[in-house]
Structure formats: C-alpha cells, structure tokens
Amino acid sequence: MAIRVFLTLLLFLSLTNLVSSIYEDQVGLMDWHQQYIGKVKHAVFHTQKTGRKRVLVSTEENVVASLDLRHGEIFWRHVLGTNDVVDGIDIALGKYVITLSSGGSILRAWNLPDGQMVWESSLQGSKESKSILNIPKNLKADKDDLILVYGKGHLHAISGIDGEILWRKDFASDSIEVNHIIQSPEVIYVAGFVGSSKFYVYELNTKNGELLKNNHITLPFGTFGESLSVSGDKFVVLDDLRSKIVTINFNNGDINYNQKQISDLVKDLSGQAVILPSRLPGLFTLKINSNVLFIKITNEGELVLVDKIDNAAAFSNALSISENQHVFAFVQYEDNKIHLSVKDVNDWNGDLLKEDLVVDHQRGNIEKIFINNYVRTDRSHGFRALMVMEDHSLLLVQQGEIVWSREDGLASVVDVTTSELPVEKDGVSVAKVEQNLFEWLKGHALKLKGTLMIASPEDKVAIQKLRLRSSEKSKMTRDHNGFRKLLIVLTRAGKVFALHTGDGHVVWSTALHTLRKSEECEHPVGLNIYQWQVPHHHALDENPSILVIGRCGPSLTAPTVLSFLDAYTGKELNSLSLAHTVARVIPLPYTDSTEQRLHLIIDVNKHAYLYPRTPEAIEILKREFSNVYWYSVEVDNGVIRGHALKSNCVHEVVDEYCFVSRDLWSIVFPSESEKIIATVTRKSNEVVHTQAKVMTDHDVLYKYISKNILFVANAAPKASGEIGTATPEEASLVIYIIDTVTGRILHRMTHHGCQGPVHAVFSENWVVYHYFNLRAHRHEMSVIEVYDQSRADNKDIWKFVLGKHNLTSPISSYYRPEISAKSQSYFFTHSVKAIEVTSTAKGITSKQLLIGTIGDQVLALDKRFLDPRRTLNPSQAEKEEGIIPLTDSLPIISQSYITHSLKVEGLRGIITVPAKLESTSLVFAYGVDLFFTQIAPSRTYDSLTEDFSYALLLLTIVALVAALFITWVLSERKDLQEKWR
C-alpha cells in the first residue's frame, strides 16, 4: 500500500510540468473569445414599458437568444443540439419564451428575463410532418393559456404554466397534411389537405380535443404548394398549373371555393406564380418574376389587386398597433438605393413610414425583415426594423439609420487559412501610446505589486488594461515572434473575413459577387479556402493572395466558381465560373516564378484540371507528371481508389490543362461487415524535426514518415449509427493504415464491441483516434505508432564511421516497407467533437493533443499520456526518458483547458498554426463562437513571457549590488579589526 501511495505521489509530481495554467488577470492577454448567434430565422419583439427592451430570436445554428434592442448585445442564449432545429418561437403569459424544435417533438419554456428553462415537454408522434406552434392571445382554457402544437402527425394541447400535455389528437391515421390551426374560446379548427385536391376541416373541442365535426371538399384539380391563411375562415392556394388562384372559405363547417385566373387580375405579367408566406390580415402576396402583387380578399370572397411592386426584396408579417390597425413593412431596391416603407393594411393610399437606407453593399441583399413600433414624444407611431442580410449579418434600423449591427455570419465558418501580415517598412510610422514619466513609473509600480501578489482587485484591472494597451498585439505589421497573423475565414454564406490574431477584430470582409444569390446562382455556398500566392522573396513589394471555392447549390454537379482575393485588402483580383464540377481540390507542392501555388481540381468524372492555367504551370507539372498521386473515398460503395495522371483530355479539341486519370489500385471493403465512417491523413505542411526516436538504454527507433499514409476507420453496418443502435456482439471497429501510392495496407487492427463516431488526428508517424466501447460503456482513445524497421541496422556506430548506412537513401512507397506498429488503448471520460495536434515551426517542441469536448471546451493533453510504451512499472531508464506509468484512463486536469471557463458553443473545428517562435503554437477554435489563444506545450523555453517583470529584475540587480557593497564594507571592517588585535 505504501509503495502504491509513493508511486501515485511520484506520478503527480512527474505531471506537474505538463500543466500550463494562467492567472485570472492573464485571461484575455493572449486569447480572445467572440460570441455569435447565426442567421436569424424567427424574431419576436418584447418592448413593454417595464423591463429591458429586447428581441427574442432563433437561428439556423439552432440558437435561441435574447438580444438587447438598444445595443444588440446578448442578454442570454442557448445553443441547442445539432439535430434540434428550432421550428418556432413565441412569448406566452408575458413571461415565458416558448420554442418548438426537433420537427415538432420538443416544446420548451424559457424564463424571459434570464433564459432559465422553466419546463420541457416531449411530444410523441409517428409521422414526419410540418410543425406548427400556436399561442393564442388572451384566450383561457381552464387555468391558463393553452399552447397548441402540431408535429409528427399529432396535435397536442399543452398547459402554458407547467408544460403538462392536456390532450392529443392523432391526424397521422387520416393522412392529412395539417397546414393551419385556428383557435377560438370554445372551438379549435384544424385545416389541411389530403393529397393535392381534398381539403379537410376538423372542428375540435378546446377543453378535451373531442372531434365535434369533420367536413371536406374535393377540388376538381390539384394544387401547387401550401395553402396560406388570409383570415380565420379564408385560405388561398394556387392550382397545379399555377394559372389560377383558389380561394377556400368555410363557415359553420360548410366549405366552398372560388377560383380566378391570374391573368384576369393583371394583364401584362407572365411567368410562374408563387404565393409568398406572408401573414397579412385580409391580404396575400403573389410573386411573378421580380414583381410582387398585393391581393385583397373581400368579405364576399372577391379578389382585388391592391398594388404591384417591382424589385421588392423582403416583407414583414403584419404588426398590430391598435385593435383595428395592422401595418407591415417591405424593402424595395431602386436605382442602387434601398427604400423601407411601412403601410397600413387597410389604408393603402399613404405610407406610415418611408425611409432611404444606406447599407454596405458587402452585406448583400436583405433576406428577412421584422418590425416593431414605439410611441414618439408627439404620440405618433415610430417603427424600428430588424433586418437579416444575405451574409447572415443582423441590423437594427431606426429613423433611417443603422442603430447597431452584428456580424453573425461568423457563426457559420466552413474553412480557415492564414496569412502573414505586411512587413514594417522604413519610413512607416506605427502609432504608439505615448506615456509621460509619471505614467511609466505608475505602470511599473503596478506590475511590481502584481508580482509581489499584493495588488488589489482595482490594481489587477489596471494591470490587465496596461498589458492589453502596451502589448502592441493589434498592430498591422509582422512581429519577430510570428504571433500577429491574419486568420482568413470563409463562411457558409460565401463571405470572407480577415481576423487579426491579436484581438480578433475584423480587418476586412468581402462578399464575393460570384457567390451572390441570383437567378444563375440560387443557393450559393462557400466550400474551401486555400493559400494561392505567398510571396516569400517579394514580401515588401507584393501582397499574398488566397483562393476561394464556392458552389451554387448543395449538389456536386452544381456550378462552381473560383475567386482570387488579396489577403491584405480583401479586394477580388479575379474570378472564374468553371465549366466543370469540383469534387476535390489538391494543392500541389510546386510554385511558379510568381510564387503562385499549383492546384489540381478533380471533377466528378475524375478528370484533373490544372490551375493556374499558364504555360509555366504546365511545364512544371510535366516535369513532375509521374509523381502526382491522389486517392478517392467512395463511402457509399465502401471503396478506396488510388489515381494518377494519364494524358490530356480530348473533347472537341485537346485541353492541355485537363488530364484524364488512371486507376492504380482499389481496396473494396466487404459491405456486409464493414462501412467507412472516418478517414484522416497528415497535414501536407507538417514539419518533422527528426526521424530518429531515442529509446531506453540508448536504443533508437526510426519513425516511418510518409505524407502518403491514410488512416481509415470502418464500423460494422449495424454499428455505423448513433451510440446504442447496436449490441456489443454486433459492433466492431476495424482500423487500417494504408499507403495511398501503392494501396498497401500497412497495418490493420480490430476493436470488438466498439463503434463510432470516430474522431482522429494523424501526425508524424502516429495516429490517435477516439471511439466508444460498448462493452465497457465508456469512450476510449487509442494510439498507433509506426516505425521503419528497414533502418534498424543503423544503430552500429562503426557503420556510421564507415558510411555503411542507409539514412540518406530516400524512402519510396514503391518498395514494400518493413514496418512495426505499437499500439495502446485508454479510457477517456468525455465524448469528443474534434481532435487536433499542436504544430510548431521546426517540430522540436513536444506535441499536445487539442481535444474539443462535448462540453464545447478545448482540452490540451500531452502526447506522452498516449505513448504505447507506457507500462505499470517503468524502469529507471524509462522514467528518465519521460515514460509515464500506465493507467487505464487518461487524466483530465482542469488547468489543461485552454479555453479556461469559456465555451466555444457549437464547436465544429480546431486548427493550429505555428508561430516563428518554436515553443509557441497558435490555436483557433470555431463553431457558433470563435476562440483564439497561444499555447506553449513545453513552456516558453526560448523567450521571456510578456508579463515578465523587468522592474523586479532591476530591483533585484540593485539589491544584489547593494548587498555586495555592504558585504564588502563589512568584510573590510572585519579585516581591519583583526589586524588591530
């Protein structure tokens, strides 16, 4: 027992140097954290006289949030799960925010002031259907407001106080697609279509859901799209040819319809008509090409054309400002100007508000608009508008001015690259904070108090501000340590942002005109971003550039566009609309004389296209023609193939920039037992410091270093879904390490009773992957290290002296390698979202794994914990080498969270960038939030930290000199006294 305690204490002491923590006042000095919400889908204003004015929103990133209406700041927010899509949001009882999500199966109530969840109800159903949230105003059902929810083919009545399900009604058995719910104090009407021609109306008792009446009508033609509710008893829908407007009325259970040709309403328009989903009492909007028609339904059921608007961008729903007055807003583009208009639904002659807006064209068009009213000092009504832009940003407009804006497009980052900042040129003055002597002394006094740990809380705040001001971390020039860079991120909306690593501010942003929504590009989406030109030798004269790839739709066959941007200014240098598709982009390790990097773009037919399309690029590729290989993974078929270039493409004429590929090899996994769930390869720009690894007793192992290694994880078909979908007997995980040039399987290993999801990272000669063990009911992490046995004979010193070694001979994939693999598995507490590894300039510094946990934090775990050579009782030599005693679980040390107490909500990815300083690695984590920091896996052994106290050093030197002088005087006096004796 004593020995065990001693070993435990020894393990703790040996790990103290693995923990790198910071003090409280250092948070924010080298890191920054930004919070976003994403593209807004629904918005509800809450502007009562008492309490803070706010707007409640839900977004495409599955975020529910409360925003300050004055400044746009986040009061509170909740990021729901990836599959927990918000279907609707509203306010109930004046104090609860009600959200419906997951296809109408989860209803939640949140406390309006602080966002605490009050209750949650799970709504069961058997059929996928439209989700409807209905919260009536000032209607009572027994003791409280009744919330009606339709989803999964069932209608539920829920108590607004405690979320209790009062009753439910099954509509799935009737095969009806419910589109509308209309509630009165005693009766609930449920309306919808069966098929495209039968319109049903159900009449239910409000108290118990009992069916009171059921009626339907069969139309003599089919319908197109969903029906729209215009008032409580009137609906409109288009016929299947989209040439007629069908009006459906029901009164006391009786249903009738009228139809009218669109051409009878408007004579000079032609094209496909679409009913817009706007909620205007007594009105509906019909869009034909770029024209929007406002059509009113009279009490007699007649259709009257009220107005026709050209180039209308967005419409709001109706807003009730009094008992009989309803208004709505719309935005119109005209002569490169934006006009905001607010009209009374019942009085079309005048405008309640008409303003011209100035909005940055980089934000794109206005996609959605929500309005709210307020009372001016003269008792008239004023209006504010919340606008959702094409780039996912959010604006609040009032009195023709933008009150605040939020760059919420940064919540949907899809790819990241980096760029160096400009070199500081001679004659360029950099703004510095000038301080007088008193401020200089005051600053050093504060630092001294902080070092001696006698600083008050106010002093700590002042020290933090002083550090942030004096660190010069936001300068727009390079620093000698390489800490200041540009993070260039591409968002899902196709907009590119350049963020400064110093404090995260946006240096520039560009909305690519090739990825703007248009008739040619209806659903633009950003795909990837790459470094295109990095002028190392002309850094003072030329700016680097980047390549952005986007697609006009989710399909691989959708048109693809390329854009080339200046990395310093964001200016679009060039753009191309490709005639071919893009399935994969391969940056080649070659550059031309202008330092543009060569790229191969592979289409769906496995044709390779060379960019840039220049004669010099062709000459470079021809010289390296036989050395270009790539692989493709067909997940659905369970096949991995290797490819190489064959010859030029021959269409009508020979295209010298297009190449036909040839298949070199293929691996077909048995579909009945294995399914590909994850593939990972090494970074192409990773630096490996040494191939040799010195072992115990001066033994040497040589790492098998190759950029052509692929890690593949296969799962049993039944275990390829979520955790728990298979039993341990049915589940298995098969791991492969494959050479992608020859297709050889270098290593294969099976984990029985395990399943995915698998998250992995490949670095140097090792791979670490995370999965779930069904037998142990715990997550596991495993490591595999691959060593080159063909160089094992190089350990003899005489072979080095005589030159009889093969260390200088190149490693070739064509020769069958003699390798050995070492592996080990460990239990791990958390589920994982992403794994990355630190990268440094020379690869000397020890590695740390950066693990994005299920709690949306980033944990730094030393690679030594995942050493396959760990044993229960390491020898003295192994301890000196740094081998940690074996434990069944990997430790999670609270100080190792590099995100501190912060969360990167919705964490999707982590990237690492080496700094010029070898000890330091830059880390950027992105999701709904953004987080950046610097870490030193082996501590800052090659520099002094920024919080180093030079004042204390000076005082120490002065004290030592004084001590030496005093000691010398005392010594002289003692010698004199000795001589007088």
**pLDDT-derived band of residue 724, with 50, 70 and 90 as boundaries?**
confident
Supply 2's token pair: 């004593």
Return d(Cα 606, Cα 164) in angstroms, integer. 57
Domain boundaries, the chain: 35-174, 423-475, 949-981
What is residue 817's predicted lDDT score, i.e. its pLDDT? 73
> How much is the average pLDDT of 350-367?
86
Give the amino acid at 490: L
Say yes or no to pLDDT of 833 above 90. yes
What is residue 697's predicted lDDT score, i.e. its pLDDT? 66
Total H helices, total E strands in the chain: 8, 64
Say yes or no to pLDDT of 201 above 60. yes
pLDDT in tens, 523-534: 888 889 999 988
Return d(Cα 592, Cα 628) in angstroms, integer. 17
Return d(Cα 602, Cα 628) in angstroms, integer. 13
Percentage with pLDDT > 90 across the chain: 36
Say yes or no to pLDDT of 537 above 60. yes
Closest CA to 579 of 615, 603, 606: 603
Q: What is the DSSP string of 854-895?
A: TTS-EEEEEGGGG-TT--SS--HHHHHHTPPPP-SB----GG
pLDDT in tens, 173-184: 888 888 888 887
Please give the residue that has the higher pLDDT: either 250 or 808: 250
Judge whether 157 and 141 are in contact, CB under 8 Å.
Answer: yes
pLDDT in tens, 473-487: 778 888 888 889 999
Residue 283 phi/psi, 5-degree rounding, is: -130, 155
What is residue 62's predicted lDDT score, i.e. its pLDDT? 93
CA 874 to mean position of chain CA atoms: 43
Say yes or no to pLDDT of 329 above 60. yes
What is residue 126's predicted lDDT score, i.e. its pLDDT? 78
What is residue 803's predicted lDDT score, i.e. its pLDDT? 58
**pLDDT-derived band of residue 1, with 50, 70 and 90 as boundaries?**
very low
Q: What is the DSSP code (8-state) at residue 422?
A: P
pLDDT in tens, 871-923: 888 888 778 778 888 898 998 888 889 998 899 999 999 999 999 888 899 99
**pLDDT-derived band of residue 14, with 50, 70 and 90 as boundaries?**
very low
> How much is the average pLDDT of 137-158?
75
What is residue 2's predicted lDDT score, i.e. its pLDDT? 40
**pLDDT-derived band of residue 650, with 50, 70 and 90 as boundaries?**
confident
Return d(Cα 720, Cα 300) in angstroms, integer. 59
Q: Which CATH class is domain 35-174?
A: mainly beta
Say yes or no to pLDDT of 452 above 90. no
> How much is the average pLDDT of 857-881?
88
pLDDT in tens, 308-320: 888 777 888 888 8
What is residue 898's predicted lDDT score, i.e. its pLDDT? 92
pLDDT in tens, 70-123: 899 999 999 998 889 999 999 988 889 999 999 889 999 999 999 999 999 999
Please give the residue that has the higher pLDDT: either 37 or 349: 37
Say yes or no to pLDDT of 21 above 70. no
Which distant-in-sequence residues (6+ apart) come within 8 Å of 939 by Cβ?
17, 20, 919
> How much is the average pLDDT of 55-73?
93
> How much is the average pLDDT of 226-252?
84
What is residue 3's predicted lDDT score, i.e. its pLDDT? 39
Question: Which run of H or E residues covers position 977?
Answer: helix 950-980
**pLDDT-derived band of residue 19, with 50, 70 and 90 as boundaries?**
very low
Judge whether 216 and 255 are in contact, CB under 8 Å.
Answer: yes
What is residue 22's predicted lDDT score, i.e. its pLDDT? 52
Q: What is the DSSP code (8-state) at residue 154?
A: E
CA 100 to mean position of chain CA atoms: 23
What is residue 98's predicted lDDT score, i.e. its pLDDT? 94
Return d(Cα 10, Cα 171) in angstroms, integer. 67
Most confident of the ranges 158-162, 377-381, 693-697, 836-840: 836-840
CA 336 to mean position of chain CA atoms: 33
Q: CA 492, 371, 328 angle in degrees (round to 5)?
A: 115
pLDDT in tens, 281-308: 888 888 888 788 888 888 777 888 888 8
Mean predicted lDDT score pLDDT of the chain: 84
**pLDDT-derived band of residue 450, with 50, 70 and 90 as boundaries?**
confident
Say yes or no to pLDDT of 153 above 80. yes
What's the CA dihedral at 302, 306, 310, 316 to 10 degrees? -90
Percentage with pLDDT > 70 across the chain: 89
Return d(Cα 660, Cα 655) in angstroms, integer. 10
Please give the residue that has the higher pLDDT: either 408 or 25: 408
Say yes or no to pLDDT of 375 above 80. yes
Q: Which of 447-456, 610-619, 860-869 has the lowest mean pLDDT?
A: 447-456
> How much is the average pLDDT of 614-626?
91
Interior/surface letters 842-864, b for 16+ CB within 10 angstroms, e for the rest = ebebebbbbbbbeebbbbbbbbb
